[in-house]
Structure formats: structure tokens, C-alpha cells
Amino acid sequence: MILVVGATGLVGGEVCRKLAKRGEKVRALVRTTSTPDKVEELRSLGIDICVGDLKSPASLSDACGGIDSVISTASSTLSHQPGDSIESVDAAGQMNLVNAAKAAGIDRFLFVSFRPPRGISSPLIRAKHDVEKALSTLNSTIIQASYFMEVWLSPALGFDYPNRTARICGSGTSPTSWVSFNDVAEMCALALRHPAAQRRTIEFGGPDSLSLLHVVALFEEIGGRPFKLEHIPEQMLRAQYDGATDSLQKSFAALMLASVHGDAIDMAPIVKQFGINLTSVEQYARRVLGTAQKA
């Protein structure tokens, strides 16, 4: 049985659905505060529901009973609840999970992380690094994902395609391998049982490396309307990073600053080795613009 931690989150929920479709036996770790509809959806898929919390080592020991593999996608960055922080969830919480897996004799562990930016540090970056290091003694797979297109190319972060406006960090000319969270989930499901993924860190992005200005041009072409752009100088992003006063703010500012320099990945070897079909930015644009136009 596979334990999925972060099962009601963006990536974790999709991981559960994909594993269940493959006929895998899955246990989902959920919290008492998890959204009831999401928990019921997991239950309807035949997934075993286990109530626990990364901040509670005892609950993790119970969750790991009878488990042969762990997939952790949990983070405090997108689904933030009272008591959550990078220190309590992404750092100490994930280490609690690693220790619980080791104590239960679980050797197979898949961890969703991200590509650490060069020359920039933050509490989140350090937490991910420490967990990856702790997993080095297990048969682990680290998925270092690039920027999620559904998050970074969305109105929530200034890419407001319904209103045709976009916030451009820096020059907007550095290429990034924008990746779909669905593809990250698919990679988790594939990698768990694939021998080529064992004891390996996999840098993972989308099929294209496009600059933010290129992405805007693509949306303009598909939507048939121009975007209004707001440019944020790198110096301003650096000032936000330097002036950040809490760990979440510091970590988000670090990611914003790092985005200026892009994150291009050659995905051809991974596509060939694992046979995964990746979602392009064009496919994403056509889908969300179609939705936006109907609203």
C-alpha cells in the first residue's frame, strides 16, 4: 500500500486519482481540517483515509503501518492552515515523515521538491534541501519540479489572462520550462514503480522553454487580444526579498526573484525514458482562455 501525504492538495489529490486508476492500493493522510468534499472524493475512489498531521509524529507512525511506499507532495505554501509554517510543515513536518518511514522499515520514498535557484536562499529552499539529504539513505526519488503553469501563469500571481494583463518580473526574456501540476502527478505515479527512477533526482519541467514575454505573445495570439504589461524591475524584487520579515514571505520573494533568470530544462531524455506526455503552455492557454471566454 502507498501512503500519499498532501493528498487533498493540488498535486497530491491528482497523484491519488492516478494511482487509484492504476489499481494501486492507496492510503491518504488527511487532517481533521481538510476540506470534506476532497476527503469524500478520495474515499469514493476506494482510497483508505487516515487522519493525521505532519506536525504529529505519533499520527505518522500510525499512518505508516502496513505501508511499502510513501509519496509526499505536502507543503505549507499553497494550502496554509492555522499552525502551518515552512518551519513546522516543510522542515520539521517532512523530517517527521522521513523518520516515521525509516522507523516502519519503508525504503521507497518519493518526494516532490523544486529546482533550487542559484545564489538565492530561503527557509523553503533550505527545508527542501534538508529533506532531500535525509532521504539519501532510502531508495528515494526526488522530483525537482519547475514553475507550475497553473499557479505562476494565473491571475493569483499577476498573469490575469481573463482581463488581458500580466505582471512581468525583470526583463521577461529568460526561458522557463513551465510545467503542469497534472504532469508532475503523472511523473510521481510513473516513477514510483519504474526502476530507472530509483535512487535518483529528476529535474522536471514542461516540453517547452518559453520566456514570460513569449508566453504573453502566445496568449495574445490564441485569444486575439493584446495584453497590458506591468514590468517589475529586478531591483524591486531584490528589495522585497531583502526586506521580507517572515519565512513564507521570504521564500515567495526568493522564488519571484529567481524567476527573473528563468528555469530551462531539456526534457527530451526524461520523455524518452519514461514515455510521459507533457502539457505545453499552448495547450494550457487554449484551455484556460476557452474557460475565460465562456465566463
Cross-strand bridge partners of residue 36? none
Specify the residue for cell string 518526494: 111
Q: What is the pLDDT of residues 25-69, one digit of tens each?
A: 999 999 998 999 999 999 999 999 999 999 999 999 999 999 999
Q: What confidence tens digit (pLDDT) does each residue in 84-120 have?
A: 899 999 999 999 999 999 999 999 999 999 998 888 9
Query: What is residue 47's DSSP assignment?
Result: P
170: phi then psi, degrees, rounded to nearest 5: 70, -145
State how far the Cα of 234 lies from the Cα of 120, in Å rounded to an integer.
13
pLDDT of residue 119: 87
Contacts of 229 (CB under 8 A, 6+ apart): 165, 166, 167, 168, 172, 216
pLDDT tens-digit map of 163-209: 999 999 999 999 999 999 999 999 999 999 999 999 999 999 999 99
Global model pTM greater than 0.85? yes
Q: Please tell me the predicted confidence (pLDDT) of residue 143.
A: 98
3-state secondary structure of 12: helix
Mention every residue, 6+ apart, whose C-beta is less than 8 A from residue 40: none
| Helix boundaries (H) for the chain | 10-21, 36-44, 57-63, 92-103, 123-134, 149-152, 181-193, 212-223, 234-243, 247-259, 268-274, 281-294
CA atoms of 90 and 85, how far apart (whole Å): 7
pLDDT band at 293, cuts 50/70/90?
low
Distance CA 197, CA 189 (A): 11
Predicted confidence band of residue 294 (pLDDT cuts 50, 70, 90): low
For 7, the grid coordinates are 493528498
What whole-number distance in Å separates Cα of residue 222 and Cα of residue 6? 34
